[in-house]
A = this chain, B = another copy of it.
Amino acid sequence: MNTMGYLLRLTTFGESHGPVVGGVLDGFPAGFRPDLAQVRLWNARRRPGSTPLGTERQESDEPEFLSGLSQGLTTGAPIAFVIRNRDQRSQDYDTLNQVFRPSHADYTYWAKYGQPPAPGGGRASARETAVRVTAGALALQWLQARGVTLAAWTENIGGVHYPCPPEPPPEDMIYASPTRCPDPDISARMASLVEQVRERGDSIGGTVRCMVTGLPPGLGEPLYGKITALIGQALFSLNAVRGVDFGVGFDGLSRTGSELNDAFIREGDTIRTLTNHSGGVQGGITNGMPLVFRVLFKPAATIAQSQQTVNLKGEPTHVEGRGRHDPCVVPRAVPVVVALTALVLMDAWLLYSARYKVDEKFREHFENKKL
């Protein structure tokens, strides 16, 4: 179950404090020339120390590719890569080994696998997301080569809110900001809140908004591979994610169908909708409008405050985080949301192509029907 995807499959491995984390990306078509500098850039945006707000743990996080590329081109064989864990300092975690840290995965991994809590979270560590970012950065380029723009940004930290704009903000504005919120004023208020929380030894959560433009209508495979279902599964596979909604989502709870239905209009050769309350999806299939969704990240479980818990002998005790951790994971989660979304959408695109590009005659018929 460490594999996601159908035709584009990412299998991940590695623990936070083992020698490496890594992945195998299988099903990537042959003949694509990835820009590895872009891959490194996305890893840099996710890695610890990438923003002044995050953990101080330093990892260069450069993926080393082991297979699947030849002379700069994908070969169609699986693309394997590892990212070395250089700065482990597992002594920071020693005292944690014998207790179940509240709201961490220590207890559930112990209950399921019979293993004592691993230093730094072991397999459950967010360090594993470096693998997803690497693979996702490849998928993103493949989508970009087809005219897709995929942007994610911090929308809310602890209640400080940046309203969703009609168009995706430019990437440089997002990553110029330490909070990954593109509005400088709101970003400053978010950063200030994170600093207050850090000083109290506490943590805070928030939301990431993601918007994808340039998608064709038709992505998503009813019933169980609806694009909403595939994105939902991918995002909920992150430990810290606690909620996902599409389009207006929970904010539309008091609004009626007549307010939220998206009327169709013709615009030149295409059909679009006047509004986009649906977030670009109807019946689980993209409709050609921007795909829009929101992801909720809970506050990081590690805090520098004493918390009540139980040790492996079942005795009551207290625990206080001493490692280097993020007071707010949201800014570093932004590239992870980008990566997972890119992986899902490229997979959906391949699935779509399998059936609906295969027959030239049908395609003509089909394309003629587009007005």
Cross-chain contact B283 with A108 (CB below 8 angstroms): yes
- What's the nearest-Cβ distance from chain B to residue A244, in Å? 6
Which residue of chain B has the shortest Cβ distance to A248 in the bound complex? B242
Cross-chain contact B100 with A355 (CB below 8 angstroms): no
List B contacts of A223 (CB < 8 A).
1-2, 4, 12, 123, 128, 237
Cross-chain contact B301 with A107 (CB below 8 angstroms): no
Interface set, chain A 351-371, CB cutoff 8 A to B:
351-359, 362, 365-366, 369-371
- Asked if A63 CB lies within 8 Å of chain B CBs, one says no
- Asked if A335 CB lies within 8 Å of chain B CBs, one says no
| Interface-side segment among A39-47, A54-62, A72-80, A178-186 | A72-80
CA distance in complex: A282, B370 (Å) = 41
List B contacts of A231 (CB < 8 A).
236
A-B contacts, 12 listed (Cβ < 8 Å): A3-B26, A13-B77, A19-B66, A102-B273, A105-B282, A108-B217, A111-B218, A224-B233, A231-B236, A245-B245, A250-B296, A264-B310
Which residue of chain B has the shortest Cβ distance to A272 in the bound complex? B310
- Asked if A303 CB lies within 8 Å of chain B CBs, one says yes
Q: Which of B82, B255, B307, B369 contacts A66 (CB 8 A)?
A: B82
Cross-chain contact B24 with A11 (CB below 8 angstroms): yes
Cross-chain contact B67 with A18 (CB below 8 angstroms): yes
8 further interface pairs, Cβ-Cβ under 8 Å (given A3-B26, A4-B224, A15-B75) = A4-B223, A30-B362, A77-B122, A100-B264, A158-B256, A228-B241, A265-B310, A278-B298
- Asked if A246 CB lies within 8 Å of chain B CBs, one says yes
Q: Mark A239-255, 1 if CB is under 8 A from B, else 0.
A: 10111111111101111
Given contacts A243-B250, A244-B232, contact A67 B263 (CB under 8 A): no
Given contacts A287-B111, A353-B354, A358-B29, contact A229 B233 (CB under 8 A): yes
- Asked if A163 CB lies within 8 Å of chain B CBs, one says no
- What's the nearest-Cβ distance from chain B to residue A202, in Å? 4
Given contacts A158-B253, A222-B1, A271-B310, contact A12 B75 (CB under 8 A): no
List B contacts of A82 (CB < 8 A).
66
Which residue of chain B has the shortest Cβ distance to A123 in the bound complex? B77
Which residue of chain B has the shortest Cβ distance to A362 in the bound complex? B31
- What's the nearest-Cβ distance from chain B to residue A77, in Å? 4
- Asked if A90 CB lies within 8 Å of chain B CBs, one says no
- What's the nearest-Cβ distance from chain B to residue A241, in Å? 7
Which residue of chain B has the shortest Cβ distance to A260 in the bound complex? B299
| Interface-side segment among A113-121, A133-141, A164-172 | A113-121
- Asked if A187 CB lies within 8 Å of chain B CBs, one says no
CA distance in complex: A266, B315 (Å) = 7
Q: Which of B7, B77, B203, B242 contacts A246 (CB 8 A)?
A: B242
- Asked if A323 CB lies within 8 Å of chain B CBs, one says no
Cross-chain contact A258 with B305 (CB below 8 angstroms): yes
Among A27, A258, A299, max chain B CB count under 10 A is at A258
